[in-house]
Every structure is written in structure tokens, then in C-alpha cells.
Structure 1
Amino acid sequence: MKTKLEELLKFPCSFTYKVIGLAKPELVDQLIKVIQLRIPGDYIPQIKSSNKGTYISISITVFANNFEQIENLYYDISKINMVRMVL
């Protein structure tokens, strides 16, 4: 059974993940490393800090060939210890 998101996307396509996590420099490095394992490429994340500087939000766009790549990458990103939320 297809999900609503899967029905809306036409592959190949660009897909942006927004990751919220602890404000540590190694979070960005770990995020890119995980993405590179699934979908190799050059990535330029956009990073914003929270008002208190405790958290950062990272927006990163990938070019996916199928829905499984999006799902698997979502799961892999969510397993990173410093990540608090993946959208």
C-alpha cells in the first residue's frame, strides 16, 4: 500500500530533509556521512541555530531515484545520536 507521500512524488526527484539536533559541529559531518552512504553526491547543508544556541536545524536536499531511498535515509538519519527530529 502506497503512502500519501509516495503517491505525490515522481521519481527521480529532489527531496529535502530538515534535521533538528544538538548544536555540535560533528552533527553536520555525521549527517553528510550517512547520506553519502545511501546517495553519494556533493551536499551543501543550510544550518540555522536556535535562539539559545542549544539546537541547530539542518536542511539538506538529496536527489532520490526511488521511495525506498527516502525511507531508508530517513531511518538512518533518525538513528544518529545527536538528532532529535527528522522532517
Structure 2
Amino acid sequence: MSDPQETLFSFPCSFPIKAMGLANRGLESAVIEIVRRHAPGFDETAVSLRPSRGGKWISVTVTIEAHGKPQLDAIYRELTAHELVIWAL
């Protein structure tokens, strides 16, 4: 159980992570690779892709079983540092 003052979430919990970037086949694999490092064994069927209406952008959403704020912070740090990721939510 996490400290309630540290976060509003109660861990472990199901947590969606979304990364967006230019429509590029490498974005999906980069996001999966990063998430896999921090959440080994996550269900790869829990990955969804959504292209923008014009097709220029794509979002990759991965739902993981999050075990704490440090894990989520590490994922977001690595995602936002990656050259293919424009936004991470």
C-alpha cells in the first residue's frame, strides 16, 4: 500500500500510459520496450494504437499493473526522453 500523501492512487492498480508522436512504426516498439523494462511481464495485448484523423500523429496506450509511484516516474522519465515520443500522459 502506498503513502496517500505521495499519490492519489492505491497500488497496485491498473494504470494506462499514453505516448504520442509522429506516425512512425518505431514508436509502438519503442514504447513497448521502455514499458517492458519497468513492468516486466505486462500484457502486450493491453496495447492499443490510435492514429490522428489526418494520419500525421499516433498514440500508443499501454495498460500496466503499476506497483508504485517510483515505477511510474521511471517509465515517464524514459518515455519523455525518447526521441520518438512527443508527449507522454
TM interval, shorter chain, is: 0.7 to 0.9
* From 20, 42, 65, the counterpart of 2:67: 65
Unmatched tracts of structure 2, length 5 or more = none
Does residue 77 (structure 1) correspond to residue 88 (structure 2)? The answer is no
CA RMSD of aligned residues (A): 1.2
Distance 2:77 2:44 in 1: 19
Distance 2:62 2:21 in 1: 14
Deviation at 1:85, TM superposition (A): 0.5
The count of residues paired between Structure 1 and Structure 2 equals 83
Identity %: 30
TM-score, normalised with respect to structure 1: 0.87
Task: Identify the residue that residue 15 of structure 1 maps to in structure 2.
Answer: 15
**Secondary structure class of the residue paired with 2:58:** strand
Deviation at 1:65, TM superposition (A): 1.1
Report runs of 4+ in structure 1 exceeding 6 Å deviation: none
TM-score, normalised with respect to structure 2: 0.85
